[in-house]
């Protein structure tokens, strides 16, 4: 027997819960299924940064070359586990091709507008009752130890400034002054419009908001299969029975290609593993989140914690923890922050998550051609927390009417 329902949202990460919330506000009756607990995936232990400063897409000129230089070093910020996997090599080829100046020129204004709109929604959502997730609008500082790194950081800051975002170049003394502690850097770029929060508290808080709205939230419910009937998804099989939804929203992060594949759709998303290491907040501590420019490590003071996050590893759907890479993140810290010694701090958790990465650094967001009741919202890579609320709002607009932004750059069939 299949149960007829209105909207089925697959995935209880930041994208799924925000989509379900805004669909509820549009008056839709939502069922959300999540194979683990709410916030079991990449949304759990990330760096918690809301980042208009990340409006240049990951696929930008020079990035693929730099990554190539890093990929053979197992301790570098970027690593590819050597293996024969056709989908991975096709993805890398597309990543290489996407990193053009033209792509950045087209994508940057859209990413800027989406990040800023999302930030405004964070300010609203985190004021809802029960949303205690330590949301702070303090900006973020990118610090660089080398002249070369600083010059590249300043160039990026200028580019974002020309696009209308706020960016302030700081000298060595100003960097330490802003953080309220010694930072060993040539200088930095401060982005006052960035913000941060404790990501799992935000996502679980949104899960609670769904219950308050009257949505049906089903954790520990895995989608096992989906089948087409004519030009639509007719059946979704789960560990809690079969559903016949009027609308389906696929928001399963790095697992989305597995489910889309059952409908004959190819979604080029590669899981890009990253790690975070969370400690009890030491004293003294940073005043604002700090990104260690050359090491590509984010350091976020969040609530009662201090979290270090970094590395990007293309190793498939593999959740193992590579201690060498965790240690490489921590080893990078004292060179920038001599007053912070991770080996003397109280460890809370070591975590890994899979960023869902597309070849052009833009998510998939929209309806699927030839499958009229399916909307995909996946592939947010390094910016999924930041874009979570606006993605959710746009999903509700795609399902119920027309979106407030032109989403053609994010269309599902673009590869
Ligand atoms: C180390 C690290 C640091 C990061 N820092 C930041 C940051 O500072 N700012 C930022 O914006 N982004 C950051 N990110 C990226 C961000 O975490 C992701 O882009 C975002 O969490 C993606 O959200 P999602 O909802 O698409 O996926 P997920 O959070 O992975 O959610 C997908 C959910 O779908 C569920 N699911 C999968 N298959 C099924 C199935 N068959 N049935 C039911 N449920 C299923 C999974 O269990 C999972 O809970 C970081 C990521 C990492 C790894």
pLDDT digits (tens, 9 = 90+) for 301-360: 999 999 999 999 998 999 999 999 999 999 999 999 999 999 999 999 999 999 999 999
Here the tokens at position 136 are 């702070």
- From the CB of 140, is ligand 1 less than 6 Å away? no
pLDDT of residue 79: 82
CA of 355 to the centre of ligand 1 (A): 6
For residue 380, the ligand 1 atom closest to its alpha carbon is 19
Tell whether ligand 1 has an atom less than 6 A from the beta carbon of residue 384: yes
Q: How far apart are CA 140 and CA 259, in angstroms?
A: 36
For the Cβ of 355 lying below 6 angstroms from any atom of ligand 1, the answer is yes
| Ligand 1 contacts CB of residue 43 (under 6 A) | yes
356 lines ligand 1 (CB under 6 A): yes
DSSP at 136: B
How many CB atoms lie under 10 A from the CB of residue 400? 16
Cα torsion through 244, 249, 255, 258, rounded to 10: 50
186 contacts: CB under 8 Å, gap ≥ 6 = 144, 145, 146, 147, 149, 150, 172
Site of tokens 């590869």: 415
Average pLDDT value for the chain: 95
Nearest ligand 1 atom, CA 275: 1
pLDDT of residue 61: 85
> 49 in ligand 1 pocket by Cβ < 6 Å?
yes
Q: Above 80 in pLDDT, residue 68?
A: no
Give the separation between CA 177 and CA 169, rounded to whole angstroms.
Answer: 13
pLDDT-based confidence at residue 78 (cuts at 50, 70, 90):
confident
Ligand 1 pocket test: pick from 117, 332, 382, 386 the residue with the most ligand atoms within 8 Å of its Cβ.
382
**Cβ–ligand 1 contact at 58 (below 6 Å):** no
288-304 b/e (C-beta count within 10 Å ≥ 16 → b):
bbbbbbbbbbbbbbbbe
Mean pLDDT of 224-241: 96
At 260 the pLDDT is 97
pLDDT tens by residue, 366-402: 999 999 999 999 999 999 999 999 999 999 999 999 9
How far away, in angstroms, is 389 Cα from ligand 1 center? 13
Tell whether ligand 1 has an atom less than 6 A from the beta carbon of residue 11: yes
- The atom of ligand 1 lying closest to the CA of 385 is 11
* Predicted confidence (pLDDT) per residue in 194-218, tens digit: 999 999 999 999 999 999 999 999 9
Measured from the Cα of 384, ligand 1's closest atom is: 19
Residue 26 has a CB neighbour count (10 Å cut-off) of 14
Pocket test for ligand 1, best of 12, 22, 46, 332 (most atoms within 8 A of CB): 46
Task: Return the ∠ at Cα 331 (arms to 325 and 335), rounded to 5°.
Answer: 145
Per-residue confidence (pLDDT) for residue 63, from 0 to 100? 80
In angstroms, the CA 229 to CA 8 distance is 16
Q: Select from 384, 390, 391 the residue to mutate for testing ligand 1; criterion: most ligand atoms less than 8 Å from CB.
A: 384
Share of the chain above pLDDT 90, in %: 92
pLDDT digits (tens, 9 = 90+) for 117-131: 999 999 999 999 999
- pLDDT tens across 20-35, in order? 999 999 999 999 999 9
> What is the predicted pLDDT for the residue at 59?
86
Q: What is the pLDDT of residues 153-200, one digit of tens each?
A: 999 999 999 999 999 999 999 999 999 999 999 999 999 999 999 999
Ligand 1 center from residue 42 Cα (angstroms):
3
Kindly give the distance from the C-alpha atom of residue 203 to the centroid of ligand 1, in angstroms, as a whole number: 10
Residue 132, pLDDT > 70, answer: yes
Query: What confidence category does residue 72 fall into, taking pLDDT thresholds of 50, 70 and 90?
Result: low
Quick one: pLDDT band at residue 408, thresholds 50, 70, 90?
Answer: very high
pLDDT bucket at 60, cuts 50 / 70 / 90: confident
Q: Is the pLDDT of residue 75 over 80?
A: no
Query: pTM to 2 decimals?
Result: 0.97
The reported pLDDT for the residue numbered 106 is: 96
Instruction: Report residue 142: phi and psi, to 5°.
Output: -105, 120
Report CA(162)–ligand 1 centroid distance (Å).
31
What is the rounded average pLDDT of the residues 3-16? 98
CA 363–ligand 1 middle distance (angstroms): 12
Query: 254 C-alpha to center of ligand 1: Å?
Result: 7
């Amino acid at each position: 027997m299949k149960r007829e329902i209105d909207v089925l949202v697959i995935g209880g990460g930041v994208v799924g819960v925000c989509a379900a919330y805004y669909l509820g506000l549009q008056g839709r009756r939502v069922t959300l299924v999540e194979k683990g607990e709410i916030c079991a995936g990449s949304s759990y232990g990330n760096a918690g940064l809301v980042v208009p400063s990340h409006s240049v897409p990951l696929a930008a000129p020079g990035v693929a070359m730099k990554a190539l230089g890093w990929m053979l070093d197992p301790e570098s910020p970027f690593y590819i586990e050597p293996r024969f996997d056709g989908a991975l090599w096709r993805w890398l080829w597309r990543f290489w091709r996407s990193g053009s100046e033209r792509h950045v020129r087209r994508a940057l204004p859209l990413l800027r507008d989406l990040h800023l709109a999302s930030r405004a929604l964070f300010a609203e959502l985190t004021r809802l009752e029960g949303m205690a997730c330590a949301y702070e609008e303090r900006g973020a500082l990118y610090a660089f130890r080398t002249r070369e790194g600083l010059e590249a950081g300043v160039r990026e800051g200028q580019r974002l400034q020309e696009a209308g975002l706020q960016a302030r170049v700081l000298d060595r003394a100003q960097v330490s002054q802003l953080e309220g502690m010694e930072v060993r850097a040539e200088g930095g770029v401060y982005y006052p419009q960035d913000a941060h929060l404790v990501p799992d508290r935000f996502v679980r808080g949104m899960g609670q908001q769904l219950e308050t709205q009257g949505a049906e939230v089903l954790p520990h419910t895995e989608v096992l299969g989906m089948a087409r009937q004519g030009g639509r998804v007719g059946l979704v099989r789960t560990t809690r029975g079969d559903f016949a939804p009027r609308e389906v929203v696929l928001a399963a992060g790095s697992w989305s290609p597995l489910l889309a594949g059952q409908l004959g759709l190819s979604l080029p998303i590669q899981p890009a593993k990253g790690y975070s290491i969370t400690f009890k907040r030491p004293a003294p501590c940073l005043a604002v989140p700090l990104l260690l420019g050359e090491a590509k490590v984010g350091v976020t003071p969040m609530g009662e914690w201090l979290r270090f996050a970094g590395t990007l590893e293309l190793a498939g759907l593999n959740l193992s923890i590579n201690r060498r890479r965790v240690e490489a993140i921590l080893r990078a810290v004292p060179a920038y922050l001599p007053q912070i010694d991770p080996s003397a701090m109280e460890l809370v958790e070591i975590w890994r998550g899979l960023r869902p990465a597309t070849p052009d650094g833009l998510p998939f967001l929209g309806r699927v051609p030839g499958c009229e009741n399916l909307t995909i919202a996946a592939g947010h890579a390094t910016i999924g927390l930041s874009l979570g609320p606006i993605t959710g709002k746009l999903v509700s607009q795609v399902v119920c009417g027309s979106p407030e932004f032109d989403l053609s750059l994010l269309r599902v069939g673009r590869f």
